[in-house]
Structure 1
Amino acid sequence: MKLNKTSLALAATVLLWATAFPAIRVALDGYGPAQLSFLRIAVASLALGAVAPSLGVRRPARTDLWRIAIAGGAGMSAYQLLLNWGEIHVPAGTASLIVAAVPAMSAVPAACFLGERFTPTKAGGSLVALAGAALVAVSGKESGYTAAAWAILAAACSQAVYHLTIKPLLHRYSGLEVAAYAMWAGTALLVPLAPSTVRAVLDAPAGATGAVVFLGLLPSAAGFVIWGYAVARLSVTAATAALYLVPAVTLAASYLWLGEQPRPLAILGGLVTIAGLVLLNKRGSSTKRVQAPRPSPSRAVTPEAPVTEGLPAATRR
């Protein structure tokens, strides 16, 4: 069976984002959560900045700057800070089980603000998925585990805000442009962390720094660009549903890379979450693919460019 480009983009995103969780654990051996957050997205920003001129990345319209600031603040700055702090106490595989609740968190706002259908089946799936995430969050007994797990759940909320915020932008800009705008905005918000990050780089072991570079170039720079390509062509609910595969890949990667074995209760919670997400994405709901307009790199972006946010996904062409 031949896979289309959108399916391949989703598969690549799953693989890249799954490997990020164990890489964060490695990076935390040499960096604090704040320094890791800034350095990771700074590396990604530099990589995107290097390719931006040759790939025709345009300047965004002023009317879109507030949305870009929200995307950068929620999906980059807040997400990195919360996830990195949480993984100090929570194993990588377990963290991925909590973040798997992102599609459930995205479904209701997508129905309210983007016109996507929210059926009783989707409502039930969202509740089941969130219950599973909560079960994972309370599965540990060590000091600091529960607070860190809730911080990771807050990171998942931040990621849900990002997915919803970029959807309207992807009707005017390419996936590369949206990822670059958000990454640059998120990096700018964390600039106050630059001095302490420089000091950390000088003292960190080579393995930890290598993990940060990996995180910046692949899961961040490449991952968010590929994700933008996929979500531009699908509804938010359909695109984020693919992310329920991330925990399975992360658990395997964490076992091979770090030797981690998640607790039985955490695995049970993860299975409940995935069951809820399967229900959330059950056929019969509105998950029609969207053919997003392909912006021309040579065309200037103007504030008068048509906005399609708020329209049902099936009406966009």
Structure 2
Amino acid sequence: MDKTADENGTERRALIAAGVTVLLWASAFVSIRSAAAHFGPGALAFGRLLTASVTLGLVLLVKRVPPPPRQAWPGILGSGVLWFGLYMVTLNWGEQLVDAGTAAMVVNIGPIVIALLSGWLLKEGFPPMLLAGMAVSFAGAVVVGLSTSHGGSASLGGVLLCLVAALTYGAGVVSQKPALKYASPIQVTTYGCFIGTAVTLPFAWQLADQLPQAPLAAVLNMVYLGLFPTALAFTTWSYALARTTAGKMGATTYAVPAVVVLIAWVALDEIPAGLTLLGGAICLAGVAVSRMRRRVASRA
């Protein structure tokens, strides 16, 4: 009884942390759209990661957190290069070449990549409810994409960049999961940020060139991206990922498009079409299905 209550409590805390992540990652799309007009893809990624690295580094110094153990470094390196580094640059770049709807559809291949890789490499298996929920959520993401897509504006290069972003996101998450067996969420996130910052360091000159010309609002959006959708949200993500499977966490991110629609509605006064709302509802329904436990009826 106590063990079941403890498991339920852990699952609930993980779900709350995942919810914080989804909310902040959804808000990032609004901030990126505002800042992207003034910063190049690499410059924006570098500024965002540098802000997060400084913030998280100070937290580690104040708390006197030691470096991660040797066993955690392969996963930290993999997630730092693939997710914190390449993903952020390619996503920023891809969204400059395709409309938001097309980008949402392509990037939402990421959770499918996570489910397949984690089922194979991490031996998490392929739970039927998880696969069913992902199918439902992906259908919802397609509906959202179609409802917000402007026909004919997508370029092959932009689609390929978004596809690379989806693949690096999925592979980065699967790389990160084993590291959490040996290191704390804040260690994994902080050192992943350090590595991502190093990967994007070649864009430092571009940021230095664009920063003086950028309006204050764009600079504040970049700082916000570093503090909240990166430093905080990636830490809450790692906390939740350490307490559940990579497949379930990947499926949870399907809620992001639905939350983006709501934030854009409130913050930007962009009234979503009925088809967009329907797609968002389908995404959320799929997330709920993916987190259900399959019940097997037994009769005496």
TM-score (norm 1): 0.77
How many residues end up aligned between the 2 structures? 284
Asked if the contact 2:80/2:194 (under 8 Å) is kept, the reply is yes
Q: Does 2:85 match 1:74? A: no
Shift of 1:56: 3.1
Matched with 1:56 is 64
Shift of 1:77: 1.1
* 2:199 pairs with one of 189, 195, 201: 189
For 2:137 and 2:284, the matched residues in 1 are separated by 7
Q: Does 2:218 match 1:208? A: yes
For 1:94 and 1:219, the matched residues in 2 are separated by 22
Letter in 2 for 1:227: W
The 3 A distance-change label for structure 1 pair 242 and 60 is same
For 1:136 and 1:273, the matched residues in 2 are separated by 9
The 3 A distance-change label for structure 1 pair 8 and 271 is closer
For 1:141 and 1:97, the matched residues in 2 are separated by 14
* 1:31 pairs with one of 18, 36, 39: 39
For 1:121 and 1:222, the matched residues in 2 are separated by 30
The 3 A distance-change label for structure 1 pair 272 and 124 is same
For 1:204 and 1:135, the matched residues in 2 are separated by 35
After superposition, the C-alpha distances for 1:14-65 in whole angstroms (9 at most, x for unaligned) are 1111100010001112111111111111111111111111223322344543
For 2:185 and 2:104, the matched residues in 1 are separated by 24
Shift of 1:107: 0.9
The 3 A distance-change label for structure 1 pair 95 and 256 is farther
Matched with 1:296 is none
After superposition, the C-alpha distances for 1:44-97 in whole angstroms (9 at most, x for unaligned) are 111111111122332234454333221111111111112112222455576456
After superposition, the C-alpha distances for 1:263-305 in whole angstroms (9 at most, x for unaligned) are 77777766666665555444218xxxxxxxxxxxxxxxxxxxx
Letter in 1 for 2:153: S
User: Where do 1:119-134 residues align within 5 Å?
Assistant: 119-120=127-128, 122-123=130-131, 125-126=133-134
Matched with 1:42 is 50
For 1:246 and 1:130, the matched residues in 2 are separated by 12
Partner of 1:53: helix, strand, or coil? Answer: helix
Point out the more displaced range, 89-98 or 3-12: 89-98
Asked if the contact 1:21/1:96 (under 8 Å) is kept, the reply is no
User: Which protein has the bigger helix share?
Assistant: 2
Matched with 1:309 is none
Matched with 1:116 is 124
Letter in 2 for 1:252: L
Q: Which runs of 5+ in 2 are unaligned?
A: 1-8, 296-300
Identity %: 35
User: Where do 1:12-27 residues align within 5 Å?
Assistant: 12-27=20-35
For 1:145 and 1:262, the matched residues in 2 are separated by 24
Partner of 2:49: helix, strand, or coil? Answer: helix
User: Where do 1:142-291 residues align within 5 Å?
Assistant: 142-144=152-154, 147-260=157-270, 279-284=289-294
The 3 A distance-change label for structure 1 pair 214 and 153 is same
Shift of 1:10: 1.5
The 3 A distance-change label for structure 1 pair 150 and 266 is farther
